[in-house]
Amino acid sequence: MLSRRLVATARSVPLRRYQPRSLPLQLPQMMQHVRSYADKIVQVPQMAESISEGTLKQWSKQVGDFVEQDEEIATIETDKIDVAVNAPEAGTIKEFLVNEEDTVTVGQDIVKMELGGEKSSSSESKPAPEKNSEPESKPESKSESKPEPKKEAPKDDAPASKPAAPAKETSKPAPAPEKESATSAAPAFGSREERRVKMNRMRLRIAERLKQSQNTAASLTTFNEVDMSSLIEFRKLYRDDVLKKTGVKLGFMSAFSRACVLAMRDIPAVNASIEGPNGGDTIVYRDYVDISVAVATEKGLVTPVVRNTESLDMLGIEKAIADMGKKARDNKLTIEDMAGGTFTISNGGVFGSLMGTPIINLPQTAVLGLHAVKDRAVAINGKIEIRPMMYLALTYDHRLLDGREAVQFLVKVKEYIEDPRLEAGATALNDMSFNVPKNVPSFSNPQRQLEDRYWGASANSSRSYRGGNTGIFHGVQGRVEDLLGTKGQLPMYKDKPYAHHASRRFRPLWRRKRSILVTLLCFVTGLWFFGFFSEGSKARESATTWTGWLGVTEPTGKKVDWLKRRERVVEAFELSWDAYERYAWGYDEYHPIAKTGRQMAPKGLGWIIIDSLDTMMLMNLTSRLSHARQWLANDLTWDQDQDVNTFETTIRMMGGLLSAHYLSTEFPELAAIKDDDPGAPGEDLYLEKAKDLADRLMSAFDSPSGVPYASVNLATYKGIVSHADGGASSTAETTTLQLEFKYLAKLTGEKDFWDKVERVMKVVDDNGAQDGLVPIYLYATTGEFRGDNIRLGSRGDSYYEYLIKQYLQTNKQEPVYLEMWDEALAGVRKHLITYSKPSGFTVLGERPSGLNHELSPKMDHLVCFMPGTIALGATGGIPEAEARKLPTWNKKKDEDMKLARELMQTCWGMYKWMATGLAAEITYFNIDNPPASPSASHHPPKDFDPDPHAKWRQDFEVHSQDVHNLQRPETIESVFYMWRITGDIKYREWGWEMFKSFVNYTSVEDGGGFTSLSDANTIPPVTRDNLESFWMAETLKYFYLLFSPDDLLPMDKVVFNTEAHPLPRFDMGKLFSTGWQRKPRDANGKLIVEKKEEQKEQA
């Protein structure tokens, strides 16, 4: 210690500015260093996996300058992005170790700094030496000039001018510069000069890729022209209104993007690619569309990617394109922004291009070129008219795309742009990557479905509008709603974090008048219209006046009437249910703004009705429950030639029926008719319907491995392999069937139900996943994992949830599932937990490329099931205070509860960060690189400062394509668990604040109920015309239970399935057993492979 102080004194570093640290320095993102007393060597940071070197383009400081922590020192240019090198700590620059224009590699020493010290006044006014430059008499052309250096925001301590780079020491005379060459004598006709400028890295890379594309792809270009009249008229009428309401400028790119997505449903090869050695031998079809948008920058052409374009409406696309374009022009694009892409659109028209042949962006198959709009004479119905026309060019890879398909694709794009009403004829049952039989329901692949208003306007609509029973408005207003996707949406997979289309309330005058008329009629007809005479109901306010209580000052602490707050939840459910009952009864989907419904099967599947049964029982809404039961008895049939998703149908339909049976038999006071009333109409109705459905779903398990197929046909009893993801099933889906089938086996005594789902767990576990963390895809044919993507969000989440719940369901009689849960939770801590900066929130990230690759600081809203599940696993569902008294309580459970509390706070922060107080679908976090270890010290704030500039807000980041809120239940689910287990009143208060945000920002005018949001970060929010079934099945149920007494469904007596349907815990009895054992593992958790098996695998 003394020697360090002597060195510090010799270097004139004040001791008060330099103190030894007992902990390692916490460095900023991507910065590496080597510490030598008071000196620090700054190195080239880690930039990305695919980038190992770059060119040091510019020094932002000069020797002797004082720099603050995180202040930019230099800019490194790579072939993809520019990387800033920032000061790891405050100090003074002592020496540059490389020159500008030098090639540098990751980890190379570039700057020596002296730590500490103070900024001198002379450093502020000291002029920087001018850098040698070209004479002003030799101007550069734009294409030859070097890019402008990056500039920081003005600071008090900024240097007066750019510093000069140090010259390399050499004993040889400097060679003459090669930048310019002129003739020794000027010719008679004037001076002529030549200039040679070295290409920057980005342009070299672009040239390389373009040449590679020409040499690899069998490129061919087809042309067409499109009449832009309708689109121009659309923009003219609504551009100002949309800009004022949303801040989004409507352009052409969003309309063409949407048209391309629709056309890809019929020509999926446009969105495919070729992979494999020697030019490729495998075609990759995709059920999603990531559009690369060509953006011209000073350094060259870049193609940032708008991801999941199929799930965005025009406003979402325009916003995403604008955001990416700004980042490109500001030189702030990241590797992630440009990675991937399945199709490219290039708009040369902004520069005045009339015609061109774009080059394919490998490994994509096609690129669409847009051009300038020019008035031209065209023949319209035998007459010559002047119309605004645009030439379209589609360059495609003839190896994959035939000429007929390419021409058809371009024609479809043209037709959609010229007459948006034609989109009404585009069937949304055609999946992106394959042509599905037309009887496939919308939920068979809704993660990436092309959801739009037109499917909802089909003849299945319960309230179709005039005009051929299509629900299509004539004229521009109809086209606006069609293009913006304002009406029909499809239901979502529970575990898929992707969006429905937005819905702006662009309503014509006649609709506004109709709304007024309806309101008057409601007032005249009185209480009946709003269900005032419904059994068990109080007099209810209208949907408009009901929310008046939001602005009332409320009591706090012990004065809170939680039963009154629970009654508000009941009222919200009644508004939702009554709107569905009034406008879309019996339909599988409900669109509350359009007030229409739509079926997912010819006769309906009871998607909303069955999912809501147990919620109505808990809320004692007996008249509504009787109506629902009557529909089940008279109208519901499973005998339909319909493909259904195995997972979704099990957790929603089968789980809902089994839960209704359980509640109506064990708590008869909750049900108008018990499911076992002798002689009652529909005796054992819920159980009989569940058993019939289960018999049909069992065919999904008839795979070679026993892992269920993704879908099954209800009429043919045939399992269907997944059409996406290379034929692999979702790991979460295949392992989230066990609670339902095991309970049904217990009720019926049919052991086959039990054995089938138990076998799946053995197959999954026999793969020997590292540290209990399983990849998110699993082949039903072989039982082996596909890829290495590890995440607890979509496609992975409920695998972990059902591990601990299977253990609890059978009253802790199957310890193998507790062992698997403990192993997985330890793996989560080891590989997926880190902390955000600067505030230190706990982040549960992803490893998309496997456990040995970098951590992505991304959290789906779906991940927020984890805090409650961890607490459930630590306590078994009893209060924490009681669990701590048990002899089984240990340090590990202490740590588990600490992790549960920290993750719960992070999830609550995801809500607090958004303008509406409703969390985005996906949130990213600012973390160190490499990420902080799980054992690192972290102290997040206890409260969230409402100041919009509060420090904690720097930890969170939400991308423009992820701002939607789908009324998801995961956070309120965990809030409910944490309240029941910890007894901390703050969780109830968080839930009440969350509920008020839902009421305030998702309620629909004119008694439509509630809708999900397309943009939850603007006020007023952008709505989407869709009510998810889990809004009533899960979200409102958990709110209700949160505000209820603890003896309602005690958590040590029930388990909730992943759709929030309560099922009882039970003893296995003599008939059932686990029936399998885990393969032996070594001390590191790896499978111990016997020699015979190893030899067999090698062979």
Catalytic site residues?
A: 648, 797, 921, 970
Q: Which residues face 957 on adjacent strands? A: 924
Sign of the alpha-carbon dihedral angle for 174, 178, 182, 183: positive
Q: How far apart are CA 314 and CA 295, in angstroms?
A: 19
For residues 647 and 37, give the distance between their C-alpha atoms in angstroms, rounded to a whole number: 60
The pairing of beta strand 282-284 with beta strand 39-43: unpaired
Residues 1011, 1024: contact at Cβ < 8 Å? yes
CB atoms within 10 A of CB 504: 25
Residue type, 715: A
Q: How far is CA 929 from CA 198, 468, 954, in A?
A: 33, 59, 16
Residue the block writes with tokens 């998703």: 645
Contact 152, 59 (CB under 8 A): no
Annotated binding residue 547? no
Helices 797-809 and 866-875 cross at an angle (nearest 10°) of: 20
To which residue do tokens 């992070």 refer? Answer: 906
Peptide bond into 1020 cis (omega under 30): yes
Burial letters for 744-774: b for 16+ Cβ neighbours within 10 Å, e otherwise?
Answer: bbbbeebeebbbbbbbbbbbbbebebbbbbb
CA distance linking residue 545 with residue 531, whole number of Å:
15
Residue 727 in tokens: 């034929």
Listed in sequence order, the DSSP H helices in 52-175 are 121-125
Alpha-carbon distance of 1052 to 1045, in angstroms, equals 15
Check residue 737 and report its DSSP letter.
Answer: -
CA 39/CA 32 separation, integer angstroms? 14
Residue 718 CB neighbour total at 10 angstroms = 15
Per DSSP, the chain holds a count of helices (H) and strands (E) of 32, 40
Chain centre to alpha carbon of residue 571: 31
Find residue 856's DSSP bridge partners.
846
Query: 891-912 and 866-875 are packed helices; what angle lies between their axes, rounded to 10 degrees?
Result: 160
Measured distance CA(711)–CA(322) in Å, rounded? 39
The residue whose two tokens read 């701590």 is: 884
Residues forming a β-bridge with 364: 273
Annotated binding site: 1058
Residues annotated in the binding site for Ca(2+), as ranges? Answer: 1058
